[in-house]
């Protein structure tokens, strides 16, 4: 080989190497939006966010590395939620995690193309978020909280906890399809033969809640059922304190209520929905279409009883019921 040809070949290779290296650009980090219907810093929301992030980590996604997670904490503020929904959509994320019905509704106002995965929605079909549970269609899918039939179980359990209960206040959010549906299911479980009167109380503000529960407590044998809603979580401390003050046997939809002083709960752990939502987000990031991912129901429902609260209310819990409890707080 002549010397000139050798030098030319080396020079050509030197030019080709950086060009080849430049062609192998690092893969763009995926972007995930998160819209939470909780106040930033509150344990109830932080636990859900942590479960989701840990679920993604288990699947190989690390925030700040191969994925960027943009979280907005809307709390119980509809205007803030709409603003944050618009912000997240404008970021052009690969997928958005929506915490509850309110956040799904806010996001769907701004996009029908960005994939949305919800973690804690009671009636996604009734709310119009998906076409059906098996075939969601559109850009939205996720994890439901429970079927309405579960709501009727709360009345049955309340009567087992306190057989003398004859007048029951049902706290519900009438602005949500889920609030209406849960109350209807409880009504279906309260035939005249059961001897129970139901009194719906709206949970839109503290004044309504206190006025309704106080009115119920003016007569004996009262009880309280709190249905699942963001409003109920917002006013959790007030609701539990009123039930305790008026010595009303009470039951709730999620296991964290008895840990804060409620008497009993029956339902799924909502944190599980956020952990499971990480799997759907992972699938979407890898190319899955939300329209093809069926809405999934909880895999487990737990009965939790707080014996300390039972004692304060003057109740003796039947041993048979305690034996079936998944957790007893003493």
Tens-digit pLDDT profile for residues 172-190: 999 888 899 999 999 998 8
Looking at the structure, tell me whether residues 182 and 279 fall in a common domain. Answer: no
Asked if residue 64 belongs to a domain, the reply is: yes
Helix axes 149-161, 177-188, angle to 10 degrees: 50
Position 25 pLDDT exceeds 60: no
Looking at the structure, tell me whether residues 186 and 141 fall in a common domain. Answer: no
Tell me how many domains the chain contains: 2
What is the pLDDT averaged over residues 103-109? Answer: 97
Looking at the structure, tell me whether residues 274 and 320 fall in a common domain. Answer: no
Looking at the structure, tell me whether residues 163 and 125 fall in a common domain. Answer: no
Asked if residue 186 belongs to a domain, the reply is: yes
What is the pLDDT averaged over residues 256-263? Answer: 96
Position 229 pLDDT exceeds 60: yes
Asked if residue 319 belongs to a domain, the reply is: yes
- Residue 27 CB contacts under 8 Å (≥ 6 apart), including other chains: 66
Average pLDDT value over all residues in the chain: 90
Position 21 pLDDT exceeds 50: no
Which pLDDT value is given to residue 11?
Answer: 45
Asked if residue 18 belongs to a domain, the reply is: no
**Pairing between β-strand 222-226 and β-strand 167-172 as defined by DSSP bridges:** parallel
Looking at the structure, tell me whether residues 141 and 108 fall in a common domain. Answer: yes
Return the CATH number at 254. 3.40.50.2300
DSSP per-residue string spanning 126-157: TTTS-S-SS---TTEEEEE---THHHHHHHHH
Looking at the structure, tell me whether residues 129 and 249 fall in a common domain. Answer: no
Helix, strand, coil percentages for the chain (3-state, nearest 5) = 45, 20, 35
Looking at the structure, tell me whether residues 276 and 205 fall in a common domain. Answer: no
Looking at the structure, tell me whether residues 196 and 220 fall in a common domain. Answer: yes
Nearest to 135 by CA among 145, 127, 124: 124
Asked if residue 212 belongs to a domain, the reply is: yes
Position 10 pLDDT exceeds 80: no
Tens-digit pLDDT profile for residues 129-179: 999 999 999 999 999 998 888 898 999 999 999 999 999 999 999 988 889
Helix axes 101-108, 78-90, angle to 10 degrees: 50
Q: What percent of the chain has pLDDT over 70?
A: 92
Looking at the structure, tell me whether residues 57 and 111 fall in a common domain. Answer: yes
What is the pLDDT averaged over residues 308-318? Answer: 96
Looking at the structure, tell me whether residues 99 and 154 fall in a common domain. Answer: no
Domain region containing 202? 149-267+302-329
Cα distance between residue 136 and residue 288, in whole Å? 13
């Amino acid at each position: 080989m002549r010397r000139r040809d050798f030098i030319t070949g080396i020079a050509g290779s030197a030019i080709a190497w950086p060009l080849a290296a430049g062609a192998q650009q690092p893969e763009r980090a995926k972007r995930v939006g998160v819209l939470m219907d909780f106040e930033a810093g509150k344990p109830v929301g932080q636990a859900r966010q942590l479960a989701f992030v840990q679920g993604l980590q288990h699947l190989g996604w690390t925030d700040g590395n191969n994925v960027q997670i943009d979280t907005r904490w809307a709390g119980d503020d509809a205007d803030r939620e709409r603003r944050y929904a618009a912000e997240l959509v404008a970021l052009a994320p690969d997928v958005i995690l929506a915490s509850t019905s309110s956040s799904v509704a806010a996001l769907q106002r701004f996009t029908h193309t960005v994939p949305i995965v919800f973690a804690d929605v009671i009636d996604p079909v009734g709310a119009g978020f998906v076409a059906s549970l098996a075939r969601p269609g559109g850009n939205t899918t996720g994890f439901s909280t429970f079927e309405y039939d579960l709501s009727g179980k709360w009345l049955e359990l309340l009567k087992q906890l306190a057989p003398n209960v004859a007048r029951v206040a049902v706290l519900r959010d009438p602005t949500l399809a889920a609030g209406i549906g849960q109350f209807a299911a409880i009504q279906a479980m309260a035939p005249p033969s059961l001897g129970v009167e139901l009194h719906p109380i709206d949970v839109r503000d503290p004044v309504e809640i206190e006025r309704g529960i106080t009115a119920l407590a003016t007569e004996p044998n009262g009880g309280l059922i709190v249905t699942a809603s963001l409003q109920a979580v917002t006013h959790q401390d007030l609701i539990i304190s009123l039930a305790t003050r008026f010595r009303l046997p009470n039951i709730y939809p999620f296991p964290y209520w008895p840990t804060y002083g409620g008497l009993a709960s029956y339902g799924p752990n909502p944190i599980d929905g956020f952990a499971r939502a990480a799997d759907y987000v992972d699938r979407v990031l890898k190319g899955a279409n939300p329209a093809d991912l069926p809405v999934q129901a909880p895999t487990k429902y737990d009965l939790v009883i707080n014996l300390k609260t039972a004692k304060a209310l003057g109740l003796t819990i039947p041993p048979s019921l305690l034996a079936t409890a998944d957790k007893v707080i003493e």
